[in-house]
Structure 1
Amino acid sequence: MSPVPRLPNMRDAHVREALRGRLEAEHAADRASTLLVDELGLCGQVRVDVAVVNGALSGYELKSAQDTLKRLPAQVEVYSRVLDHATLVVAQNHVGHAQPLLPAWWGLIEARWDGEQVDLVDRLEPQPNPGIDAHSLVQLLWRDEALDELAVRGLDVGVRGKPRTAIWSRLADEVPLHELRTAVRMKLRARASWRSAR
């Protein structure tokens, strides 16, 4: 009797490919105003595996069957300071352990593997983040971008020659959060190098 062939393991690349395919299909009609970004850095601490920037800032954290959940609590903490919506995309073997680690507003997608491709199954729909932190959010902006946002509001006096941390602080302290959220999304979508790379 011949041995049963062993199926290849699901890896991060498989999950990422399936998620990117889904997101590109979902946003096909609004691609001009939607930016998909891989490995978006947050607060110099973590990277969002896949981010979607349009009328909201949404992030997806991927955990394949080969990954562990060791870093998930720290990732959840930082994601929850910045993103409008967050979703964990996780292999079947992690679902039961991962769900209790997520805030109630997070989404959850189960990644099922048949040996050849990933099937994404929605388990929890993401809800709006109730706890965005302005001082964390502004760190998505480059120094010149943050300074531009201050300048258009006449708030740049006294910080033009200062480090970006001072510029970020002025922006977070002086501009209402709803304005900041819009400004950050617009700046991210306008980055020419990101658009050409896409």
Structure 2
Amino acid sequence: MRDADVRSALHRKVLREHHGQPDTLVLDELGLWYGTARVDVAVVNGRIHGYEIKSERDTLDRLPAQASVYSSVLDRVTLVVGESHASKACSIIPDWWGIKVAHSGPRQAVHFHEERAPAMNPAIDPVAVAALLWCEELTDILTTKNAIRGLRGKRRDLLTRRVAELLPLEDLRAVVRERLKARTSWRLTGAQSRPTGQQQP
């Protein structure tokens, strides 16, 4: 199984219902922590749920570093892993991550077995959440909150930290989700989808 085969099956079989929901954004390769990591698939609705794929052709070399970044920002995470990696992967990821094992059927179709359901992230980092926002989004939030003084034109990381300090975590998470869903510049293809009413540029 290749990564592309697992990804396609994930969209068609696991995430199919999300593609039809009017207030849900589904996209591939969501950049985290200023683009230093990218989760393979993200579902953004009332939470941000990331899906990381490790097919039979992948290695687990990057998984520890990815797990650290993903666990700082995503509300839920599910590791989608090939059968040969399942045992080792379980020893690397946090126990609140979900696990779906991908395997090939008799006709080479990809099937999934849920080994463990995901739980909510117990330790979200507000700065990592705010880092999902672009400079103009951060500036707009600070302007709305009358907290932009001295920060206009400053570096993105300074704006990020100020927004993280300013908003309670639950409010911050909600604002970030809505900003992600409101963007019109996502380049979505194939099975990916944006909330109803938003047009692809």
TM-score, structure 1 as length reference: 0.90
Identity of aligned residues (%): 47
Quick check: 1:40 aligned with 2:20? no
Quick check: 1:177 aligned with 2:174? no
* Alignment counterpart, residue 186 of structure 1, candidates 178, 192, 198: 178
Q: Where in structure 2 are there 5+ consecutive unaligned residues?
A: 187-193
Q: Higher Cα Rg: structure 1 or 2? A: 1
Asked if 2 retains the 8 angstrom alpha-carbon contact of 1:149 and 1:183, the reply is no
The aligned amino acid for 1:73 is: P
Q: Give the corresponding residue for 1:144.
A: 136
Q: Give the corresponding residue for 2:191.
A: none
Consecutive aligned runs of 4 or more in structure 1 exceeding 6 Å deviation: none
Q: CA deviation at 1:169?
A: 1.2
**Aligned-pair RMSD on alpha carbons?**
1.5
Quick one: distance in 1 between partners of 2:4 and 2:200? 19
Quick check: 1:62 aligned with 2:50? no
Map residues 27-106 of structure 1 onto 2, 5 A cutoff.
27-30=18-21, 32-43=22-33, 44-106=35-97
Call closer, same or farther: CA 1:35–1:81 in 2, change over 3 Å: same
User: Which of the pair has the greater relative contact order for Cα pairs under 8 Å at 6+ separation?
Assistant: 2
Which secondary structure state, in structure 2, belongs to the residue aligned with residue 130 of structure 1? coil
Which secondary structure state, in structure 2, belongs to the residue aligned with residue 81 of structure 1? helix
Deviations 1:106-127 (A, max 9, x none): 0000001135210011111000
Q: Where in structure 1 are there 5+ consecutive unaligned residues?
A: 1-9
Higher helix share: 1
TM-score, structure 2 as length reference: 0.89
Q: Give the corresponding residue for 1:128.
A: 120
Asked if 1 retains the 8 angstrom alpha-carbon contact of 2:72 and 2:124, the reply is yes
Deviations 1:9-30 (A, max 9, x none): x100110011111344222552
Q: Give the corresponding residue for 1:14.
A: 5
Aligned residues: 188
